[in-house]
Copies of this chain bind each other. A is one copy, B any other.
Amino acid sequence: MAAAAAARILRLAPRRIQVPKTSPLAALSFPLPRTAPIAAASGRRQRFCAVAQAPAPAAAATGAAGEAVGEFRKRLRVADVKGGEDEGAAWVGKELAVRGWVRTCRAQRTITFVEVNDGSCLSNMQCVLTPETEGYDQIDSVTTGASVLVEGVVASSQGGKQKVELKVSKITVIGKSDPTSFPIQKKRASREFLRTVAHLRPRTNTFGAVARVRNTLAYATHKFFQDNGFVWVSSPIITASDCEGAGEQFYVTTLLSNSADGGSLLKDIPATKDGRVDWSQDFFCKPAFLTVSGQLNGETYASALSDIYTFGPTFRAENSNTSRHLAEFWMIEPELAFADLNDDMACATAYLQYVVKYILENCKEDMDFFNTWIEKGIIDRLNDVVEKNFVHLSYTDAVELLLGSKKEFEFPVKWGLDLQSEHERYITEVAFGGRPVIIRDYPKEIKAFYMRENDDGKTVAAMDLLVPRVSTYKLVNLLEEARGKSVLITLKPGWTSKI
């Protein structure tokens, strides 16, 4: 089945890939570049679901007991049509159906323009309706936020904003939206306001782009580690151990669940004779916490499977409202066996360059949007991450460099003290002209107890990867905000001690 699907996609793709039929690769489904006009090449309409224009035959479905389940087909998305290099030109003359949500509706004398977005890309499909369009009598319901099915023929667009548009032969309003109360309108809304309508935020350009980029970053993360032979380990979320004293922990308990009206009564919490919480009556019969790191679990797997990575949610109960603190975030923790700090640095560098390159190539439209509206220059800076060699220098050399800079810093520079943001920014932005920098071999006093001590007896095999301006990236803050609680993907490669 998967082989057949892969073969079908490959056959339809304009750039053919020769895969020997006997190759194990033939069994895998290649991710098609988002930009390939699948159905255009074949001239066949591909529809994933056909409910609106051809209702599911309910009688047939339930009439004969034991009918086979229908085929699952990749759905045709606006990105499939407009995402190619030709921006959809190859589709001109083809018939297709688009399902999505109305962004705007502009009525002119004889024609009406409806912008429909299906979330597959930032671009809308511009749909052109005339009074002859079937369903035109419903035009009053075609308002911002309404969900519609539009069917028609792709045509070259007169407007400068897009190469193609859809000449609509039929429009069906699937779900109406009250134009007087729907809160997401064309004008730009503040993020504070959008937080109050979080269930509709994903329909904005900004949050849609964030969701797509975050998805792509996550998948690229898996691809990178899987391609390099790492095994993903899902370390426990509820744990009885504090990993590294990395942060305050949340308690996980059912002792508080005896809610009376209005809230839990303190007297209902099980207690021991001396007035302490009686953990033996809790769910796990002892105190349990949300994990602050999967590192300890990861190390046990790395000491058996060689190279592993964790990628899951992590929790810190630190009540700090800064852009560097989150109560809940997804963290990546690779653990490499039989590796030293050089391998660790090489892995972190390769990973970061891989995922950044991946989003620049696969999320071009969304990144252009960020570059224009969220943070100017971010594409150039990310290109630097991909193209420039990362440098590494020891903490000791970094201190020398800072002392020799003659620059006045707010915080003191002295061997043994941790580096502050201003120091890190000087190193990456001034001393190395925008190149990412790894600082290694920190004094053991300022790093965690489990770091391997170097032969000098004073430093440990630890490293920090500094990316120019990353701590002030608005984009990072945005990624954090998108889900309310947790979004930032952090990288924290560990160093696995030899066993």
Binds B, one of A160-168, A309-317, A370-378, A469-477: A309-317
Minimum-distance CB pairs A-B, first 7: A119-B305, A202-B304, A72-B350, A72-B346, A263-B276, A62-B394, A68-B389
Alpha-carbon distance between A455 and B61 when the two chains are bound, in angstroms: 14
Contacting pair A400 B65 (CB below 8 A): yes
A197-241 contacts to B (CB < 8 Å): 198-203, 207-208, 211-212, 214-215, 218-219, 222-224, 226-229, 231-238
User: Which residues does chain B contribute within 8 Å of A346, judged by CB atoms?
Assistant: 69-73
- A245 to chain B minimum Cβ distance, whole angstroms, is 14
User: Which residues does chain B contribute within 8 Å of A437, judged by CB atoms?
Assistant: 66
Instruction: Say whether A254 faces chain B, with CB atoms less than 8 Å apart.
Output: yes
Instruction: Say whether A347 faces chain B, with CB atoms less than 8 Å apart.
Output: yes
Contacting pair B231 A215 (CB below 8 A): yes
| Partner pick for A315 among B58, B79, B238, CB 8 A cutoff | B238
Instruction: Say whether A301 faces chain B, with CB atoms less than 8 Å apart.
Output: yes
Instruction: Say whether A271 faces chain B, with CB atoms less than 8 Å apart.
Output: yes
Instruction: Say whether A159 faces chain B, with CB atoms less than 8 Å apart.
Output: no
Contacting pair B401 A237 (CB below 8 A): no
Contacting pair A62 B304 (CB below 8 A): no
User: Which residues does chain B contribute within 8 Å of A18, judged by CB atoms?
Assistant: 17-18
Instruction: Say whether A39 faces chain B, with CB atoms less than 8 Å apart.
Output: no
Interface centre among A214, A231, A264 (most CB of B within 10 A): A231
Contacting pair A56 B341 (CB below 8 A): yes
User: Which residues does chain B contribute within 8 Å of A341, judged by CB atoms?
Assistant: 56
The DSSP consensus for interface residues of chain A is mixed
Contacting pair B305 A257 (CB below 8 A): no
| Partner pick for A357 among B1, B77, B211, B330, CB 8 A cutoff | B1
User: Which residues does chain B contribute within 8 Å of A88, judged by CB atoms?
Assistant: none
> How many of chain A's residues touch chain B, expressed as a range?
35 or more
Residue ID in chain B nearest A454 by CB atoms: B58
Contacting pair B391 A69 (CB below 8 A): yes
Contacting pair B250 A254 (CB below 8 A): yes
Instruction: Say whether A32 faces chain B, with CB atoms less than 8 Å apart.
Output: yes
Residue ID in chain B nearest A238 by CB atoms: B328
User: Which residues does chain B contribute within 8 Å of A62, judged by CB atoms?
Assistant: 393-394, 396-397, 440-441
Instruction: Say whether A187 faces chain B, with CB atoms less than 8 Å apart.
Output: no
- 4 extra interface residue pairs, beta carbon distance < 8 Å, beyond A2-B357, A69-B349, A237-B328: A74-B229, A202-B301, A234-B483, A256-B277
- A103 to chain B minimum Cβ distance, whole angstroms, is 11
Contacting pair A252 B254 (CB below 8 A): no
User: Which residues does chain B contribute within 8 Å of A251, judged by CB atoms?
Assistant: 251-257
Contacting pair A275 B266 (CB below 8 A): yes
User: Which residues does chain B contribute within 8 Å of A238, judged by CB atoms?
Assistant: 250, 290, 315, 327-328, 485
Contacting pair B354 A283 (CB below 8 A): no
- A180 to chain B minimum Cβ distance, whole angstroms, is 17
Contacting pair A147 B483 (CB below 8 A): no
User: Which residues does chain B contribute within 8 Å of A174, judged by CB atoms?
Assistant: 338, 498
Alpha-carbon distance between A301 and B199 when the two chains are bound, in angstroms: 8
Alpha-carbon distance between A279 and B79 when the two chains are bound, in angstroms: 46
Contacting pair B305 A69 (CB below 8 A): no
- A258 to chain B minimum Cβ distance, whole angstroms, is 10
Q: Are A277 and B252 also in contact (CB < 8 A) when A149-B338, A393-B67 are? A: no
